[in-house]
Amino acid sequence: MENRLNDYQNQIDNLSQERAQPSDSDKATKVNAKLKRLLQTVKDKINRLATERPELFTNIGEETNERFDHIIATVELQATQMEMLQSEHNETQEQLRNEIQELQR
């Protein structure tokens, strides 16, 4: 009889532990909700930017994806321009150093 009670107690404990642990479905639901909130936040920020700075989105549709693609393209273009300017700056510095060395001779 005591063995049966112990078995039942173990079964109850196991079931309690299983219920205490979130299932994969619960985890997926929570992750999905977090992703939806994140996407909504990104969408809201892009739309706010488009409202506050419409000149940045000339000839761009109102779809968030289009605006996001445009932002990415703009950032990539600016990064390329910055690299070019840095390269030009470095070349100019090197030329000036060479000229200074020549003048010092």
Contact 82, 75 (CB under 8 A): no
Q: How far apart are CA 43 and CA 67, in angstroms?
A: 10
Higher per-residue confidence, 68 vs 18: 68
pLDDT at 92: 96
Higher per-residue confidence, 1 vs 56: 56
Q: Dump pLDDT digits (tens) for 19-61.
A: 777 777 888 899 999 999 999 999 999 999 999 999 999 999 9
pLDDT at 46: 94
Asked whether residue 15 carries a pLDDT value surpassing 90, the answer given is no
Asked whether residue 1 carries a pLDDT value surpassing 70, the answer given is no
pLDDT at 22: 75
Q: Dump pLDDT digits (tens) for 60-100.
A: 999 999 999 999 999 999 999 999 999 999 999 999 999 99
